[in-house]
Amino acid sequence: MRRKRSRGTDGFTLIEMMIVVAIIGVLASAAIPAFVRYMRNARNVEGVHNVSKMADSSRAYYEAHSRFNLNGCTSVTCAAAAPPTPSLGAWAVCQLHAGVYPASYTAEFKHAQWQKLLFQPEGNIRFEYYFYGYNHTNPASSYAYHRAYRYSSCNAGKQVVVRAWIRISAGAPVKQGPYLMLNW
């Protein structure tokens, strides 16, 4: 025998549906900012990792050649710098490519100074990289400087800078950093 259903007892009421939607909205309002912060921090890891890799390469270069400069200079004091790479500036990347350098810019890391450092970033490039090596007859005055730079938000214009140094201490290269500076 079939049971007769009364009208209005099946399904959810409008009030119940509105409560569920409100709960989902509250949960989303808490989760979305946390997710955005997580993604921003993940992008910054690229700069920290690559600057650390550059500093390790500089230290290895110093240990092999007893100098930081990569151009073979043998005068009393000399310096060498790898050009800021990729050459398309960080602000232009924000405007033209939403903050990610196109794959074609990885070819710029074939420059001789970068090749001597054995450095080329992997994957998407979001930072502009810079290296400067200074050699002095007094080894304690010699150093290597490494920097990565990008805009954290292409709209707000806030910057992210990662820096690391290699200094000579007791005749051996010592790494300092990388240091991450947000909204600089």
Per-residue confidence in pLDDT tens, the chain, 184 aa: 566 655 656 788 999 999 999 999 999 998 998 888 888 788 888 888 888 888 888 888 888 877 776 666 655 556 666 766 777 776 777 777 777 888 778 788 887 778 888 888 877 788 888 888 887 777 777 788 888 888 776 666 677 888 888 887 767 888 888 787 776 5
Domain range enclosing 78: 14-182
Report pLDDT for 183.
62
CA 114 to chain centre: 17
Q: Per the structure, how many domains does the chain have?
A: 1
Say what the pTM is.
0.72
Residue 4 has a pLDDT of: 61
Q: Does the residue 54 lie in any domain?
A: yes
Cβ atoms of residues 82 and 131 within 8 Å = yes
Peptide bond just before 33 cis, omega within 30 deg: no
For residue 3, being part of any structural domain is answered with no
Q: Please indicate, yes or no, if residue 2 is contained in any of the structural domains.
A: no
Q: Are the beta carbons of 47 and 180 closer than 8 angstroms?
A: yes
Q: Answer whether residue 28 is part of any domain.
A: yes
Residue 154 in domain = yes
Q: Is residue 41 part of a domain?
A: yes
Calpha distance 121→104 (Å, rounded):
13
Look at residues 150, 155, 178, 181 and name the one whose alpha carbon lies nearest to residue 166. Answer: 178
CA 112, 49, 161, 121 torsion: positive or negative?
positive
* 74 in any annotated domain: yes
